Amino acid sequence: MPSHPAVSMMKFTIHRPCASARQPQQNEDKLILELILPTLLLYLALGAFAGVMAGLLGVGGGLIIVPVLAWIFRSQSMNEAIIMHLAIGTSLATIVVTSISSVRAHHRRGAVLWPTFWRLTPGIVLGAWLGAAVADVLSSVALQKVFAVFVLLMSAQMGFGAKPAPHRNLPGTAGMLGVGGVVGAVSAIVGIGGGSLTVPFLSWCNIAIRQAVATSAACGLPIALAGSIGFIVTGLNAPNRPDWSLGYVYGPAFAGVAVISMLFAPLGAKFAHSLPTEMLKKVFAIFLAIIGIKLLLG
């Protein structure tokens, strides 16, 4: 039976708007993908570089992740007032993931001094929360200056190979609480796992370097966990946060950096046995010095 002309016309008029509506949506989705893809690739590349450097030179990924994330966030035109807060909070969150893998590897080798870890952890947690609270009241510019000074200090330490001479044992409960508090607070403020502070302290207390590095890696987990929670809580009410952020932790950057850095850290550890790491440390120290100066002047 032939269709009534009105029915045919109704079918036609209903069909055309759907087709035309899909086209702008497809163009919009394509544009979003073209804008997101280069940034996602930057996060993946940053994660790979940070992972290799952490495995190769034993440096915390935060020294690399924080300044690069700040640069990427600026290129995305994020709110300048919270860029450093986002970079540091996201860095700490990525360290949670990578430190789990590192701790498991050191634990399998029996190198972690767990009694020492547990004595440092209460101070670390309290210090990390305090550091996150201090960072929240500092401006993004002030945080950048603090991070720049810390990077320059780490550059000097790495470049000149300064190491404290071991001459004493671990302090008592109050001393360990205080040391943990300082390590946790500084690490949270600048977004690192604390190895650049914990390893020299343990070495100064006559702990063998292998055990100092392993125990420091274990300490990086409560530092990063407490610090990232602190940055999440303090950033929940921050104005003009980007979409996909939880407090001061930016989800897309966290996902891209954390997963890839965890995969590439073993590759860096493998390179450490075949490449001239002492020379690489000096080159990396120069690299950090350039970053620190740029951040200090910027």
- Average pLDDT of the residues of the chain: 83
Q: What is the pLDDT of residue 242?
A: 92
pLDDT 10s digit of each residue in the chain, 298 long?
444 444 443 343 334 445 455 555 555 555 455 567 788 889 999 988 888 877 666 666 788 899 999 999 998 889 999 999 999 999 999 988 888 877 887 788 888 899 999 999 999 999 999 999 999 999 999 999 999 999 999 888 877 776 666 667 899 999 999 999 999 999 999 998 888 888 889 988 888 878 888 888 889 899 999 999 999 999 999 988 998 999 999 999 999 999 888 888 777 767 766 778 678 778 888 888 888 898 888 7
Q: Where are the beta strands (DSSP E) in 21-158?
A: none
Phi, psi of 139 (to 5 degrees): -75, 165
Kindly report, residue by residue over 144-173, the tens digit of the pLDDT: 999 999 999 988 887 777 666 666 789 999
Q: CB 97: neighbour CB atoms within 10 A?
A: 17
pLDDT at residue number 26: 58
pTM: 0.82
Report the alpha-carbon distance of residue 110 to residue 199 in Å, rounded. Answer: 17
Determine the distance from the C-alpha atom of residue 101 to the mean position of all C-alpha atoms in its chain, rounded to a whole number.
15
The answer to whether 53 touches 47, Cβ cutoff 8 Å, is no
